[in-house]
Amino acid sequence: MARRGENIYKRKDGRWEGRYVKSRDTKGKIIFGYVYAKKYTDLRKKLSLKKAEYSNKVDEQDLYDGTVAEWMNYWLDYLMAKKIKDSTYSNYHGRLEKHINPYFQAVRLTDLTTAKVEDFIHHLIALGLSAKTIHCIINILKSGVRKAVLEGLLVKDPCVSVILPRLKKTSVSALTRIEQECLERVAWQDAECSPVILSLYTGMRIGEISALRWQDIDFTANVISIKHTLQRISVSDGGKQRTKVIISQPKTGSSQRAIPLAKNLKSYLLDKKRGSVSEFVISRGQGYAEPRLINYRFKKLIKAANIEAVNFHSLRHTFATRCVEEGVDIATLSKLLGHTSIKLTLDTYTDSMWENRQKAVSLLDRKIKKSSAA
């Protein structure tokens, strides 16, 4: 299949079409050339030959005359800003300002090589950043550089063959049943609706809990609809950095989901709704309670419950672990959690399913005994 950034498309007539940069007109607009083939592999060969042929004909004036930092700022602020969510923009901007731009501020885009990108990766490793953070930073750089290549501003993509550090699998931290009982005992005492109870019995993320309104809960159909997420992001205001709270749709379509409302949780929520003065389920006065306030309150509960310190996200893992222990199938659990794929759920909770795997091999093991006795 065609990969992202290849400029290869499947036509309605069944043929494959490839596009390459031939030149620019007098106004600087790119002039594309096209090749066609019935098979994808044949098209790639044709396209590679054409790209090689015309890459040597690109005039210096067609290439980007600026630094990597200048291009990345232009790419984010003018080419991407209106296409991505505010939270995504804030994330990209923060990584550009902190890591990418300072390192490449004096490097011309046309002088960027694979070796320089790999040196940057070693620099990030030396800073002690995790492999996951390094992947995020390099993927932003890759996206910006790829766009420059597609626009004909750079002849070759130096990021294609870089080697990233291997991602380490992190084990999830879920509460034991005893720890969960201790925490719940304290949480039940809250006069208002507790985010701890919500997370333990729905698996909702902290931002989803912050954004949940009473109108998102259908007490007749017994459904909790996850439509929004709330988070605090960093923004630039007149050259000064500040933060603001935003309520937006979840990042992925799978995160927008419906969670069945069970009987006991329904009774609990209805009771809390009667005393609520806010449109938000978890509130601060008449307004919302943002994630950092929920985290602050959570730390107090942990101390009161006298259990080992964990983060709020562990409650989501606890919900998933309890589901696995009760025999909930992985496809159902994936839907409840709003994961993008079943594979993500399997990879995350594989250790929690150890007992299920033991039961599975034990069932088959019985056949060995029966066969040998026959």
Write down all domains in the chain, each with its CATH number in brackets. Answer: 8-62 (no CATH), 68-150 (1.10.150.130), 177-356 (1.10.443.10)
81 vs 278: CA distance, rounded Å: 33
Neighbouring C-alpha atoms within 13 Å toward the C-beta of 351: 9
Give the model's pLDDT for residue 330: 87
Q: What is the pLDDT of residues 185-237, one digit of tens each?
A: 999 999 999 999 999 999 999 999 999 999 999 999 999 999 999 988 877 66
Q: Which two tokens stand for residue 53?
A: 């042929």
Give the model's pLDDT for residue 354: 58
Give the contacts of 333 (CB within 8 A, at least 6 positions apart): 320, 323, 324, 345, 349
5 pLDDT band, cuts 50/70/90, is very low
Give the model's pLDDT for residue 147: 94
Q: What is the pLDDT of residues 76-86, one digit of tens each?
A: 998 998 888 88
DSSP code at position 152? T
Give the model's pLDDT for residue 241: 73
CA dihedral of residues 261, 324, 226, 264 (deg, nearest 10) = 20
Q: What is the pLDDT of residues 327-340, one digit of tens each?
A: 888 899 999 999 88
More confident residue, 223 or 364: 223
Please, is 31 exposed, middle or buried when counting C-beta atoms within 10 Å of its C-beta (0-12, 13-18, 19+)? exposed
pLDDT above 70 (res 25): no
* Closest C-alpha among 172, 213, 214, 179 to residue 196: 179
Give the model's pLDDT for residue 236: 67
* Average pLDDT of the segment spanning 144-149: 94
Give the model's pLDDT for residue 356: 61
Q: What is the pLDDT of residues 54-68, one digit of tens each?
A: 765 555 556 788 899
Q: For a pLDDT cut of 70, what percent of the chain falls above it? A: 87
Of 55-64, 158-167, 243-252, minimum mean pLDDT range: 55-64
Please, is 341 exposed, middle or buried when counting C-beta atoms within 10 Å of its C-beta (0-12, 13-18, 19+)? exposed
Stated length of the chain: 374
Work out the end-to-end distance of the chain between its first and last CA atoms, rounded to an integer number of angstroms.
52
CB 107 within 8 A of CB 100: no
Give the model's pLDDT for residue 57: 56
200 vs 198: CA distance, rounded Å: 6
Q: What is the mean pLDDT of the chain?
A: 86
Give the model's pLDDT for residue 172: 72
Q: Give the predicted TM-score (pTM) of the model.
A: 0.69
20 pLDDT band, cuts 50/70/90, is confident
Q: What is the pLDDT of residues 91-129, one digit of tens each?
A: 999 999 999 999 999 999 999 999 999 999 999 999 999
Give the model's pLDDT for residue 4: 44
* Average pLDDT of the segment spanning 365-372: 64
Give the helix ranges, DSSP H, for 22-174. Answer: 40-55, 68-74, 86-95, 101-104, 114-126, 131-150
